[in-house]
Structure 1
Amino acid sequence: MKFSTPKKVLAGAAGVALIASGATVAFAENGPQAEGLSHDIDGNTIDSHRLTIDKDFTHVADVQGEFAFNQEGVTPNDELFNVFGTALTSMCSKPSVEMLDNGEGIANYYINVGGNIKKNFTVNVSEMKDSEETALMGCSCATGKPFGQAAVVGVPLESIVGMADLEEGVNTVTAYGADGFGQALPLQYALDKKAMLVYEVNGEGLKSTDGSAVQMWLPETVARYFTRDIVNIELTRQAEEPAVQQVDPQFRNKIDILNTSEGCVFKAGYDITFEGVADDCGSPITAIEFSFDDGATWTSCATDGATADKWVNWQFTTSFAEPGSYNLSVRAKTADGVVSPLEASLEFEVIE
């Protein structure tokens, strides 16, 4: 008989109450600095330290186990955007009314295209079947812990740009929502990131009560640029290309444990499966690391082949021979050498 958490990682990965200690925990500000965990990023120095833990846990060094990961899975639509807050305009801002099956709204996919182009035009993106694409794409805020992933259907922004007769020097694209709010992006950046105008999320057609229901999705880009209810796209020539906001350095390399505090009691000698998700929104995750001795030692598990456009679903299975109170700390590493400034932690009990 196995005592383990369910191995279902592929759904519901975001928007869940996660760790027994209450939240992802910042490394102790005044604790001893772990070697190699200080990073200078865009003028910011981020120091990662081992957690200061008051409770007397059973410490086990260099714990070995079975590790597996994939980059699959989607966040349910009723959770996907609610994890991002309560403001107004982008994915990173308000609960997703159009994602809920409330019977309201219409399926409107018309967008006006203008700016520094020789002739303005209107297009129904849902009718551009020759250009339609499907993608599995992550969505992450610049600050804070939540992140999600969805299977989206839509038309590449490149197809819309290809329909426009651009004037000389056009270098900026701005998608405006029905409320008039828009976030400017360098046009080449948006094209390089394969931005999509999305009208279906996780198999569900989008609806809107105000303007078009189309959404802008961009891989490896913070969710403030995921404009919703798009009614206008402006292709313009600017003296300087707009800057692109990046993930706040202290919130890079987000990681969560999906095991909840309920039921975290296991039999000695039996398998325990820990599972969770990690995402950096820009740099591929190259390893997930586990510690069961307050960060004195770490077991590093490579995530070879992981890409930056999707999250990493991870599982680590191990067992403990001795009864006691234990604490798991988990962090991630990226291809550019950054270790999670915030780690996740889980308390659990092992009994006879």
Structure 2
Amino acid sequence: MNGAVSRPISRRRVLGAAGAIVLGAGLPRPAEAGAFFWGRLFSVPPRDTPFITPNDQFYRVNYSDHSLEAGANLRLDRWSLAVSGAVERPIRLRYADVLEQRVAERMVTLQCIDNEPGGSLMSNALWGGFPLAGLLARAGPSDAARDVVFRGADGYHDSITFERAMRGDVLLAHSMNGVSLPRDHGYPLRAVVPGLFGIKNVKWLTEIEVVEHDHRGYWQERGWTDDGAMPVTSRIDQPGHYQLLRVARQLVRGIAFGGSHGIARVELSADGGATWREAAWAPSPPDAWVPWTYEWTAPAPGAHTLVVRAQGRDGVRQRSEIGRAYPAGTSGVHTIVALVKAV
């Protein structure tokens, strides 16, 4: 789901590409001449990250290569959304019925479970739609309801707990950044579940089923997490990794995101984690990422290792230990090398 690529990719092809952003971050600090040599080979430009990600730059990852084809072939005159399972009053909505629902909007950041520290598989958008909780209440769910299953036109399925579904913040979205939901992002209707990884945000919805058991979705059947909660994370967007900086004074900037934890503090280290300084950050809507900045002056020419970390409003800190995506998402802090030519 890399927003920087021009073609869709599946989760099976993500790890190698997403990991490239932190290439060299774990290497020992080289001598100055060697650092500038590596910089010429591996320099990564800074990222321009608008607060709202344009639709055509929003990351895309699908469980299968045929998902986009299924979405592209979906005919609106034959499409409907069924609410079924352990409910007293099953519901079927056509697209015209969807558009008649009272519109609610939420700014929500989504992230792929395969996103590496500092990776680009995370984006932010303004979603428009209607609350899932209201639709389920109309259907009259069973007192024994346990999970709510989302099923897509591409055959993909996943679930959230009934309790999570009824909190009121889960959207059935039909618009994205003020326009109709693009086909490659789930048109005509998708789930947007704040705080949970992209695997739970099912696209091209055709059915919502209330069940009285613990549903195992496509990825859970393969050993991945059923919880799906996103951890606290942060990244450096400027300067780029091994970017050559010609002056000592630099504005370091990036984003932090805490999922349901929120963000209360962002810190930057300019000496590989030996010391930390608090960065400035701008308040954001509760389910959106937070832009941060830090005015840094390099004390000397040469290679400097910059590291960022964040902390949630509930005190949960970003994990520094490197962890792979399987089974519950990656962990680690984003590290870059900045090459300062002169002071």
User: Same fold by TM (over 0.5)?
Assistant: yes
Match of 1:170 in 2: 145
Please say if 1:122 is aligned against 2:100.
Answer: no
Equivalent in 284, 294, 300 of residue 316 of structure 1: 294
Alignment-mate amino acid for residue 212 of structure 2: R
Match of 2:56 in 1: 78
Instruction: Measure, in 2, the Cα distance between the counterparts of 1:217 and 1:322.
Output: 47
Q: What's the offset of the Cα at 1:152? A: 0.6
C-alpha distance in 2, partners of 1:200/1:96?
20
Alpha-carbon distance, 1:261 to partner: 4.7
Which has the larger displacement, 325-334 or 217-226? Answer: 325-334
Q: Which structure shows the bigger proportion of residues in helix conformation?
A: 2
Cα pair distance change 1:188/1:128, threshold 3 Å = farther
Gaps of 5+ in 1: 1-12, 28-50, 58-70
8 A contact 2:152–2:207 mirrored in 1: yes
Q: Does the 8 Å CA contact 1:24/1:343 hold for their aligned counterparts?
A: no
Matches within 5 A, 1:5-154: 15=4, 23-24=21-22, 53-56=28-31, 73-82=51-60, 84=61, 87-88=63-64, 110-124=80-94, 125-130=97-102, 132-145=103-116, 146-154=121-129
The change in CA–CA distance for 1:94 and 1:23 in structure 2 (over 3 A counts) is farther
Q: 1:346 to 1:323 in 2, by over 3 A?
A: closer
> What amino acid is the match of 2:82?
N
The total of aligned residue pairs comes to 284
AA aligned to 2:235 is D
Counterparts of 1:284 and 1:96 in 2: how far apart (Å)? 36
Preserved CA contact (<8 Å) 1:24 1:256: no
Report whether the alignment pairs 1:161 with 2:140: no
Task: Measure the CA separation in 1 of the matches of 2:112 and 2:203.
Answer: 15
More strand by share: 1
**Equivalent residue for 1:349?**
340
Give the alignment partner of residue 339 of structure 1, picking from 318, 327, 332: 318
* 1:297 equivalent in structure 2: 275
TM-score when scaled to structure 1?
A: 0.68
What's the offset of the Cα at 1:110? Answer: 3.0
Letter in 2 for 1:313: P
Q: What is the TM-score normalised by the length of structure 2?
A: 0.69
Identity over aligned pairs, percent: 18
Question: What are the ranges of 5 or more consecutive residues in structure 2 without an aligned counterpart?
Answer: 6-18, 33-48, 217-224, 321-331
SS in 2 for 1:162: helix
SS of 1:326's equivalent in the other structure is strand
Task: Tell me if structure 2 keeps the 8 A contact 1:275–1:313.
Answer: yes
Matched, 1:234 2:209: yes
Summarize deviations over 1:209-253 as a string: whole Å, max 9, x none: 9x9621000001111110011111112323x587842358xxx43
Q: Matched residue of 1:197: which SS?
A: strand
Q: Is the 8 A contact 1:26 1:343 kept in 2?
A: no
